[in-house]
A = this chain, B = another copy of it.
Amino acid sequence: MDYVNLSEEALRTFTINIFQAIGVPPDDARQAADVLLKSDLRGIDSHGVARLSGYVRLWEKERINPDPKVRIVHETHSTATVDGDSGLGLVVAPKAMKIAIEKAEEHGSGWISVRNSNHFGIAAYHAMMALEKDMIGMSMTNASPLVSPTFSAERLLGTNPICYAFPAGKYPPVIVDMATAAAANGKLEIAQRTETTIPEGWIQNKHGHSSTDPTELRKGGALLPLGSNPTHGSHKGFCLSATVDILSSVLSGGNYGPWVPPFVAFLEPPSDPVGLGIGHFLGAMRVDGFRPVDDFKQHMDNWVERFKNARPIDESRPVVIPGEPETAAEQDRSINGIPVIRPVYEDLKHLSRKFNIALD
């Protein structure tokens, strides 16, 4: 696909300036841009600057507060509920994760349920904040309903990702970051745009029947949970997504299930909310709350080596360690720049003109 190569620096400066233009204070703008850039650097193009205009449109609809007062509603030594005051999830979640890390420093672990937030970007950003302190990080979020539970013709759950970040020694950290749906929504968006068929097991139509036509999603269909169908364990994908939904929003006082407000600004939020905004669940645990850090890292390295060296089915395709492709992308793109596909580049140019902010 046609793309424009932009340096990390240029994209970062532009993104910070756009966030400041909508009233986000400088520190928060740098934070929000850092989350988006991390996504682009790690090759997760769907969650980076491609979403910048989406956040702007939510702000235009007054569904995002650019200068939120993020506060702890309730806490114990190792738990807290944080209210995001309708702020950008890109700002709220890192603030909440800092609280988790502080609690872990003092009490071994910290677990934060967040309400009244918005889309937080890639889950990995937040979990990975724990790594520099030699902690294990965890992050989850609920999201707009696109996924149907097993046996349901209705969409009731988001793609609700789960992320764990584990520090290693000589190897890069092991980063599990996965949506709980069978297929990534990004892949479906591409198939919808190019009108190509998709494999069985990714979506169902409005009657709940498996479909290979991605346009069925626009006609009342739904993404399927990980497992795809009951024979292959779709109830497990449903269970995982339900867990994320409950920990993120039933526990914090956010909206859950079909009440989660949509990310896209052209869809109105439900008129009968059951809570405030969307919810996240974040955690940090000190490795040395369990065993000495060096012992853990040495065994993580051994774990990584053993799995990398597994006898492959096909000699040309070795086992991929969770996070390995993203680490490789980050190394490449931080040096060689970020390839921004043409439609996203045009979107950024549109923002550039609108706010009179240069995109170099």
Contacts and interface: CB of A to CB of B under 8 A. Distances in A.
Interface stretch (A11-19, A39-47, A230-238): A230-238
B108 A320 contact: no
A77 B286 CA distance: 11
B153 A320 contact: no
Contact of A290 (B226, B251, B290, B307): B251
A342 interface: no
A154 B300 CA distance: 19
Given A182-B233, A251-B290, A246 B306 contact: no
Given A256-B299, A306-B156, A322-B239, A108 B81 contact: no
A86 interface: no
A231 B232 CA distance: 13
B74 A291 contact: yes
A151 B74 contact: no
A78 B78 contact: yes
B319 A152 contact: yes
Interface string A335-356: 0000000000000000000000
Given A251-B287, A289-B76, A226 B231 contact: no
Interface in A210-228: 226-228
Consensus secondary structure, chain A interface: mixed
B107 A256 contact: no
A290 B232 contact: no
A73 B290 CA distance: 8
Interface stretch (A21-29, A261-269, A309-317): A309-317
Given A149-B307, A310-B152, A313-B151, A79 B237 contact: no
Interface string A287-310: 101110001100110110011001
A47 to B, nearest CB: 17
A35 interface: no
A341 B303 CA distance: 40
Interface string A181-203: 11100000000000000010110
A103 to B, nearest CB: 8
A148 B78 CA distance: 36
A77 B109 CA distance: 8
14 contacts: A77-B77, A77-B108, A78-B78, A80-B289, A81-B291, A109-B109, A111-B289, A113-B290, A136-B251, A151-B310, A153-B311, A166-B246, A208-B312, A250-B300
Given A77-B108, A153-B313, A245-B303, 13 more contacts: A78-B289, A81-B290, A108-B111, A136-B251, A151-B313, A151-B320, A152-B310, A152-B319, A176-B239, A180-B236, A242-B307, A246-B303, A274-B302
Interface of A: 73-81, 106-109, 111, 113, 136, 148-154, 156, 162, 164, 166, 174, 176, 178-183, 199, 201-202, 204, 207-209, 226-228, 231-233, 235-240, 242-243, 245-247, 250-253, 256-258, 274-275, 285-287, 289-291, 295-296, 299-300, 302-303, 306-307, 310-314, 317-320, 322
